[in-house]
Amino acid sequence: MVIVHHLNNSRSQRVLWLLEELGLQYEVKPYQRDPKTMLAPPELRAVHPLGKSPVITDGDLTLAESGAIVEYLATRYGAGRLMPAADAPERWRYTYWLHFAEGSAMPPLLMKLIFDRLKKAPMPFFARPIARRIADQALGSFVLPNLERNLDYMEGELRRSEWFAGPQFSAADIQMSFPLEAARVRGGLDEKRPKLMAFLEKIHARPAYKRALERGGKYELLR
Ligand SMILES: N[C@@H](CCC(=O)N[C@@H](CS)C(=O)NCC(=O)O)C(=O)O
């Protein structure tokens, strides 16, 4: 049986969702973030040396990295569902979005989170203007332009086809859900990008998405 080492309010929510879409039996082992640092508890390092979530175990296999997990589960248990066939023209688009989510969409969203927090972090009063200046400089020169460019690009791609890999819903859409949900709460995604907003609405209405929320518990992305 697949065991999902699930950290609250985290990327592992999409692994639960994928398992629900596949209709597989699975076990959820819950872990709670430290409420101050938001880091994962040290017990997760006993499962995988990096101590991040998601991690799954399936028999002798321990696998981390959500993209690898999504690829593994869809390939091993999908029986052709949720991914285009190996010779279909959509197959490389599928692979592209599977990697894009963590490789290109998440980095500026993570930087935004860190620089926004840096501005509010407790520090001696004389350091605050310097910290703010550094954060604003990084946000203005690099982070925000990259966020905007990514959002414009993704919006344009969803004008080409209903889902990221083409006309069919796929595991790449599940992988893309997390950066888009994060962009909605902290990355400037709003009604100005109607295709991306519609994407979020459609995925949130899926019965498997709702069932995964019931299994995973409260899901609120960090801002
Ligand atoms: N690229 C990795 C990122 C893993 C990751 O950073 N997970 C976060 C949860 S969203 C985490 O475990 N954070 C807690 C920590 O770093 O201690 C993946 O997609 O699995």
The verdict on whether omega for the bond into residue 54 sits within 30 degrees of 0, i.e. cis, is yes
Q: Taking all residues of the chain, what is their mean pLDDT, rounded to a whole number?
A: 96
Whether residue 65 contacts residue 102, with contact meaning beta carbons closer than 8 Å, is answered with: yes
Q: How far apart are CA 45 and CA 49, in angstroms?
A: 5
Protein residue with its CA nearest to atom 9 in ligand 1: 10
Cα 73 to ligand 1 centre (Å): 19
Mean pLDDT of the 78-85 span: 96
Give the model's pLDDT for residue 222: 79
- What's the 10 CA to ligand 1 centre distance in angstroms? 7
102 Cβ closer than 6 Å to some ligand 1 atom: yes
Ligand 1 contact, 66 CB (< 6 A): yes
Indicate the pLDDT class of residue 84, thresholds 50, 70 and 90. very high
Confidence (pLDDT) at 223: 82
The whole-number pLDDT of residue 71 equals: 97
Q: Tens digits of per-residue pLDDT, 10-45? A: 999 999 999 999 999 999 999 999 999 999 999 999
- Confidence (pLDDT) at 53: 97
State pLDDT tens for residues 117-171.
Answer: 999 899 999 999 999 999 999 999 999 999 999 999 999 999 999 999 999 999 9
